Amino acid sequence: MNESSSPRAVAVNVAANTNEPGFRGPVYPDGSFAYVPIPESEATLPRDRFPVDEPLPTYADLDVPFALPDPLRDRPVHMDPEFPGVHGREHATYGDPYAVKAGPIAELEPGDWLLFYATLSLRPAGWGGPGTDPAVDPDLVDDDLAPDWGAYLFAGIRVNRVLDGAGSDGPSRAAAAGAVPTNAHLKRDPFDARVVVAGDTQESGLLERVVPLSTPESGSDANELVTDLSSDSGKGPWWRRPLRFDESATATLLDRLPRQ
């Protein structure tokens, strides 16, 4: 692998939100968190046509420290991104069908970082799950966390390979299956990813603690990691946009990531 000695980074918004499946994942007062994927919203292939012999995961298969609503437990999950050792996965992969995110991701090279952030709701330690919303004691909350909800970096993939179809609508199903056979987009019918990323399984994964992108005062206000380090202005709904970081900004950002 011709790995970059001065990596760049792109951060994209993923994971559960108030639209899908109807709640955000939790961030706890000490900055720990739970990664909750979105539901699978598209038609999928029969299992015998998956590139690998495995079932389509459901919310009941997730390893989360709270109870999920019974109607959600049998719902299929779009397990993307996937990280080694998280929710039973073994690989580090990501696929994206949307041009606004696929474009910046396609510019990444081996050794660069694809980072992931999510909007997370502040919940007390021992939170029971959606529908059980006891108040959080503000005296126990770390100073850098936003009240109610905020945007937080929570994971990263160290890029090994990016496939984007060389200017077409995306890589072929066959090419993607050769690079990221377990990725959730390869279970969809039709295959819809405009870009897929295969990552280093040793360096990719969840952070030990979230890194806030919001200010401690408000989840909707961007902090200096967005306004000073990324190419984004931090104005408007910045927490829905991909964030680009050049080599210098990435070096600063990586120093702040509490990687496992």
Which tens digit of pLDDT belongs to each residue from 75-92?
Answer: 999 999 999 999 999 999
Measuring CA to CA, which residue among 48, 225, 63 is closest to residue 151?
Answer: 225
Q: What is the structure's pLDDT at 3?
A: 55
Q: What is the DSSP annotation of 98-143?
A: -HHHHHHHHT--TT-EEEEEEEEEE--TT--BTTB-PPP-GGGS-T
Q: Where are the domains of the chain?
A: 9-41+57-88+101-161+198-256
254: alpha, beta or left? (left if phi > 0; alpha if psi -120 to 50): alpha
Residue 174 main-chain phi, psi, to 5 deg: -65, -45
Beta strands at 38-39 and 77-78: parallel, antiparallel or unpaired: antiparallel
Residue 150, exposed/middle/buried by CB under 10 A (0-12, 13-18, 19+)? Answer: buried
Instruction: Report how far apart, in Å, the C-alpha atoms of 156 and of each of 11, 70, 211 are.
Output: 8, 31, 12
Question: Looking at residue 2, what is its pLDDT?
Answer: 42
* Distance separating alpha carbons of residues 203 and 218, to the nearest angstrom: 32
CA distance 196 to 130: 32
**Nearest to residue 200, comparing CAs of 81, 54, 83, 51?**
83
27-42: per-residue pLDDT in tens?
999 999 999 999 999 9
What residue ranges of the chain have pLDDT lower than 70?
1-4, 166-168, 260
Tokens of 192: 């819809």
pLDDT for the residue 198: 98
